[in-house]
Amino acid sequence: MSYNSIMHPIPSAYKENIISLASNGYSTHHIATKLGISHPTVSRVLKTLLPNHQPPLAGRPSKLSATDQHAIIKQITTYQSANAVQATNHINSIISNPVSSNTVRRVLKKHSFKAVVKKKKPLLSARYRQKRLAFALKHREWTVEDWKRVIWSDETKINRFGSDGREYVWKKQGEGLI
């Protein structure tokens, strides 16, 4: 028996059935087909009579618990893992069901992390900085003619196999790079 609720009010028996089935965990689509009512009608009744009703979650349950997700985020934020692959290797050593690096990337994106290209910058340790300062102080009195006598060479690095490529780093949106 089908009941069309376009023009007519919904009888209280239908409302009670909708509430009963929803409280037992049935989805709105399942309730609609079981009672012969349209899906929007079931949704409207649940919204008016049970405003705090949470429908059952759809989709596959996550392989990673909240604790596992926190461990991934901690690996990235404390710089113990530089990228998602390293974080995946770490989390797979902890949990029994291994996950892919794409799963780890989705977790990071869910927690407002963003992968950005790491800026290439030279390693300037304290010793190198001191040497550069000493060179600048030693040659600060040089004229243009003195600098013209210097032979400048440009160093180029060439990879025969593969490339250094781009390195990515995960950061919270709005944070600067280190």
Is pTM beyond 0.85? Reply is: no
Q: Is pLDDT above 60 for 6?
A: no
Q: What is the pLDDT of residue 3?
A: 52
Q: What is the DSSP string of the chain?
A: -----SSSPPPHHHHHHHHHHHHTT--HHHHHHHHT--HHHHHHHHHHH-TTPPPPPPSPPPSS-HHHHHHHHHHHHTTS-SSHHHHHHHHHHHSSS---HHHHHHHHHHTTEEEEEPPP-----HHHHHHHHHHHHHTTT--HHHHHTSPP-------SSS-----EEEEETTPPP-
pLDDT in tens, 136-170: 999 999 999 999 998 888 877 788 887 777 778 88
pLDDT in tens, 67-110: 999 999 999 999 898 889 999 999 999 999 999 999 999 999 99
Q: What is the pLDDT of residue 14?
A: 85
Q: Is pLDDT above 60 for 5?
A: no
pLDDT in tens, 15-72: 888 888 888 888 888 899 998 888 888 888 888 888 888 777 778 888 999 999 999 9
